[in-house]
Structure 1
């Protein structure tokens, strides 16, 4: 196993223990609104501390970008960890058992390690660049369906950017008329992991952050799929507008999305 993947998995599992403990005692969890419709719980913060603490034991000089505590510029600029300690906080605080830990490592600007961990189902999705992706040790492959009819797509509502609602719903309508069905689960990291594992055929969403998608992107790519922005380019980390699917289905999805002049 890649030594840094091993540490990422350890960090994700340590965070998972914090999350499960909090989930079993939700009435004691403190919740605050960071911004409109964007919540953070005391468990998010505790899980992030557990992740950073685990990483720092092995790599004290690495840079860290974390959703709750922001950027911590370490001495070694070549290594950057990107962390979402609890992707799916709204699900978590409502007692819906669908959320995840997301940890990615960039080395000299390229994502080399990615982990998405579902602590409720004990499902660990992991990838190392050039070595494929796995779920609990078994190789994952994305679905190879080439056309929209019959597919199952995942998405996320633009709840932090409700000014996109009309455009989003127009795209949703056009895609929905073509596909078998659509899912909105509440955790973009798990949605991408599910694309990698072939559980859903594709994924699209507005306005995501790097910590939502950094690990998931590597899972997707190492499973035979692609991830782009809404124009089919590579600006998704900056714009947060994400489409992921196998290359042929991705092209079909982009054809629909591009009609809306984003």
Structure 2
């Protein structure tokens, strides 16, 4: 199954990249707010991925960002984000990716994230480790907050910049760590934690397809994933991924702020 997922992600990425080279403003649309973009390519790529699944694995369900759920009661379900980081894609920035996860009865068992601009292919299978372009990857070993590079994001579903859209947490964490980065693709943020480039990543208001592949990449690379309060309620109660050693210190930043994660 993982070879099918890798091949499909690379093919989907090639379709998206070809469209990027001739992207026009008329193909960029707004879903609900001026912050939440979708392109014709998002839909085209998702349709391609679903077509491949239907052709080779029709027994599996599908949950896609653009098309919703189909066959979600089946044992295996693919979780698809055709272009994670659509705003970056629309502005010709490199931080966007194709994300395909496979869950068995709700548990991640395989995940692939492909970054077409760089050609980087991340993948993992349950119990078999995490890989980047064929080489095993691991989370970082940092334990000192003053040396930490963390990643975060600000949900595109916001109506405006608000306290409950991560600003409280950002203002608590940023002074305590070496630096904070915002890449604009939760799937790639997960990959960066898995490879040890980021030591931690947190975000609010993510959807299952945003981290459907990345969650497994992190845990297979030796990291830890929970909601912002140490439970399994992610991404609904926020999403926190770390190298494991930093998980407890990061959880302390979110204590007593459950009201911001409704």
TM range (shorter): over 0.9
Residues 194-203 or 162-171, more deviating: 162-171
Residue in 2 that maps onto 1:225: 223
- Aligned-partner Cα distance in 2 for 1:252–1:144: 14
Given candidates 173, 176, 181, the residue that maps to 2:174 is 176
Residues 50-59 or 130-139, more deviating: 50-59
Residue in 2 that maps onto 1:165: 162
Provide Cα deviations, 1:46-98, integer angstroms capped at 9, x if missing partner: 11111111112211121001000111117x81110000000000011111121
How far 1:103 moved relative to its partner? 0.4
How far 1:243 moved relative to its partner? 0.6
Q: Is the 8 A contact 1:115 1:124 kept in 2?
A: yes
Residue in 2 that maps onto 1:186: 184
How far 1:183 moved relative to its partner? 0.4
Residue in 1 that maps onto 2:138: 141
Residue in 1 that maps onto 2:24: 27
Q: Is the 8 A contact 1:98 1:187 kept in 2?
A: yes
Correspondence list, 1:1-262, <5 A = 4-27=1-24, 30-36=27-33, 37-73=35-71, 77-162=74-159, 165-167=162-164, 168-237=166-235, 239=236, 241-262=238-259
Q: Let me know the Cα RMSD of the aligned residues.
A: 1.6
How far 1:153 moved relative to its partner? 0.3
Q: Is the 8 A contact 2:8 2:52 kept in 1?
A: yes
- Aligned-partner Cα distance in 1 for 2:22–2:48: 18
Q: Is the 8 A contact 2:139 2:218 kept in 1?
A: yes
Number of residue equivalences: 257
How far 1:162 moved relative to its partner? 4.7
254 and 163 in structure 1: CA distance in 2 versus 1, 3 angstrom threshold: farther
- Aligned-partner Cα distance in 2 for 1:219–1:208: 17
SS at match of 2:214: helix
How far 1:256 moved relative to its partner? 1.2
How far 1:146 moved relative to its partner? 1.6
TM-score (norm 2): 0.94
How far 1:28 moved relative to its partner? 6.7
- Following TM superposition, the consecutive aligned residue runs of length 4 or more in structure 1 with deviations greater than 6 angstroms are none
Q: Is the 8 A contact 1:29 1:43 kept in 2?
A: no
SS at match of 1:145: coil
- Aligned-partner Cα distance in 1 for 2:229–2:145: 18
Gaps in structure 1 of 5+ consecutive residues: none
SS at match of 2:255: helix
- Aligned-partner Cα distance in 2 for 1:96–1:212: 18
How far 1:240 moved relative to its partner? 5.2
Q: Is the 8 A contact 2:228 2:237 kept in 1?
A: no
Residues 184-193 or 52-61, more deviating: 52-61
